[in-house]
Amino acid sequence: MMRRALLLAGIVSMTLAPSAPATASDAEFRRAFGDDFFDRYWELSPGSAVAYGYYKYADRLTVPDEQARATALEQIDRWLAELARIDPTDLSPAVRADRAMLEAQLRGERWSLTELKSWQWDPSSYNVADTFALLLDLDYAPLEQRLRSILTRLDNVPAYYAAAKKNVATPTREHTQLAIEQNRGALGVFGTDLEQTVGVSSLTRAERATFLQRLTAARAAIEDYVAWLEALDARLASGATPARSFRLGAELYAQKFAFDIQSGDNAEALYERAVAEQKRLFQRMSLLADLLWPKYFPNAPVPADELAKIGEVIATLSLQHVPREQLVAAVRDQIPELERWVREHDLLELDATKPLTVRETPPHKRGIAGASIDAPGPYDPDAPTYYNVTPLDDLSAERAESWLREYNQWMLPVLNIHEAIPGHYAQLVYANRSPSLIKSIFGNGAMIEGWAVYAERMMLESGYGEDKAEAWLIYSKWNLRSVTNTILDYGVHVRGMSEADAIDLLTRQAFQTEQEAREKWRRVTLTSVQLTSYFSGYSAIVDLREQLKREQAGTFDLKRFHEQFLSYGNAPVRVIRELMLETKSQSN
């Protein structure tokens, strides 16, 4: 999740070729889809507005009922009609890209409401905690002002959950169980810490009394929703209430892939490319395993089975890991090391004024990923960026050891490269500097995840890990993960891959631990298409870099490539490619 409001003028300090001159239609587009457009957009989505740093509607909690959906659809249709009146061929390249991104965003939102309809089958989509937590954590205004926003929002919490119960008509059991887990965690946001904060605040006595009344009602509404979900889960388990399959199916999957990935390719083609890449990686990993075998198994014969050989070497390397109680501290200690490496090897300019805070993942965010970034958006770029790391306290010794072996001493730095530096954290700082709000806010997941996967390769190519065979083998295993994610996601949601086959794919063919495989299985039952974004975006970025290296032989500058690529915000790689090639042709 990214927190996204004052837009910084300009982009990072670097020399770029001049953009194409503005047209009359550019001005028309900016008038129609400028500040007034975004203000109305955030008015309809006040929770998302807070996440992006736009606080004008921070005191509003939209009740997700039929009227709210009808209002959203009516507004989307008006915006699409207005877009249709602007001929894209009359726009300059950068604004034409904005128009295409905005149209894809609006059509995707419309499709989600009218075709995907996850509001009917995903009970976990109803959770009020995150925005309330942000309003408490972010110092965008004096405490009392933020508390008054919370006070007003609290009044709608009971109606919010009443609407949620009415909406959930055809739930999947997997999303029902996630909703139970995360809404239990949500109660912590409305607990004694908030009561104490209110108690010592300078709110009036009447405000404090109303606050406690509404806080009690909000907790009761969440507890009631959890109890309702628990009863629903029991009925789903017994068959008394039919459960919807978590598998999206070929038709919905193809449509969702087109809206979410925006690569210009289709899901099946990406799946086939992933299968081919899997074979190539096996060959590379086999050679690395051959190099390492004598060092770690000097008296043992090399297994004839290639996957068994690779797996044994990886398993031995995986025994080297941090103690479970030191996981969060170890992540925190590695961040300065990664920053130094990026600067010393001239890979990317990092903004020292935007610190990264490593913290334990808040309870209401747990359940899907072990590590994630919460980053500010372009409206509030000085807000803190959090690197969430889930501690292993709640895991058994066996499960914790399995997790730690997965994120061993060679793998943990790659995770931190991906999530933090120069991965998600660095990329999102650059995104906030993009002169286009549309490119920054309506970010493409394949570009964002693709950059993080590309950053791993970029760091290893620069010599990080001392160019050791161990580092390259474990990196190759991690790279195989993004490839396997695509095979898994498409296989499960379209081709009906069973849990047993998925676990075999993840453990035997991707060399992941049992704990990691079980978590990934859970993730693929709770999400769709997102797992393909890693390989899709990464492949497109590498393709673009290699093309420019060939065309600019002798003059290609890697750091300049990175900074120019990131200067376009979170646009799809396909769009960035067009803009970079357009810039190159103008400079020629």
Which pLDDT value is given to residue 367? Answer: 65
In this predicted model, what pLDDT tens digit does every residue of 487-520 receive, in sequence order?
Answer: 999 999 999 999 999 999 999 999 998 888 999 9
Is the overall model pTM greater than 0.75, yes or no? yes
- 69 has pLDDT over 90: yes
| Span 250-267, average pLDDT | 95
User: 252, 172, 173, 121: which is closest to 528 by C-alpha?
Assistant: 252
- 37 has pLDDT over 80: yes
In this predicted model, what pLDDT tens digit does every residue of 472-494 receive, in sequence order?
Answer: 999 999 999 999 999 999 999 99
11 Cβ contact list (under 8 Å, min separation 6): 430, 433, 434, 435, 567
| Span 541-556, average pLDDT | 94
Placement of tokens 């925190």 in the chain? 332
Least confident of 19-33, 221-235, 285-299, 355-369: 355-369
Which pLDDT value is given to residue 1? Answer: 35
| Span 59-76, average pLDDT | 98
Placement of tokens 């982009």 in the chain? 11
Do the beta carbons of residue 438 and residue 379 sit within 8 Å? no
Which pLDDT value is given to residue 426? Answer: 93
Which pLDDT value is given to residue 410? Answer: 94
- 5 has pLDDT over 70: no
248 Cβ contact list (under 8 Å, min separation 6): 256, 493, 494, 528, 529
Least confident of 20-24, 111-115, 394-398: 20-24
In this predicted model, what pLDDT tens digit does every residue of 271-300 receive, in sequence order?
Answer: 999 999 999 999 999 999 999 999 999 999
Kindly indicate the confidence band of residue 374, based on its pLDDT and cuts at 50, 70 and 90: confident
Do the beta carbons of residue 214 and residue 198 sit within 8 Å? no
What CA–CA distance (Å, rounded) separates 403 from 516? Answer: 6
Which pLDDT value is given to residue 21? Answer: 65
Q: How long is the chain?
A: 588
Placement of tokens 């950059």 in the chain? 451
Which pLDDT value is given to residue 16? Answer: 37
User: Which tokens belong to 48?
Assistant: 């998302």
| Span 11-20, average pLDDT | 38
| Span 354-367, average pLDDT | 83
- 340 has pLDDT over 60: yes
> How many degrees, rounded to 5, is the angle at CA 67 between CA 173 and CA 38?
95
What CA–CA distance (Å, rounded) separates 586 from 556? Answer: 17
User: 470, 569, 489: which is closest to 529 by C-alpha?
Assistant: 489
In this predicted model, what pLDDT tens digit does every residue of 316-329 receive, in sequence order?
Answer: 999 999 999 999 99
In this predicted model, what pLDDT tens digit does every residue of 532-541 receive, in sequence order?
Answer: 999 999 999 9
Average pLDDT score, the chain: 92
Which pLDDT value is given to residue 369? Answer: 65
| Span 330-345, average pLDDT | 96
Helices (H) and strands (E) in the chain, counts: 27, 3
User: 107, 100, 94, 104: which is closest to 436 by C-alpha?
Assistant: 94
Kindly indicate the confidence band of residue 35, based on its pLDDT and cuts at 50, 70 and 90: very high
Q: Which parts of 407-465 fold into alpha helices (H)?
A: 411-419, 424-431, 437-441, 445-461
What CA–CA distance (Å, rounded) separates 293 from 302? Answer: 7
Which pLDDT value is given to residue 370? Answer: 78
Phi–psi pair at 359, nearest 5 degrees: -145, 165
Which pLDDT value is given to residue 566? Answer: 94
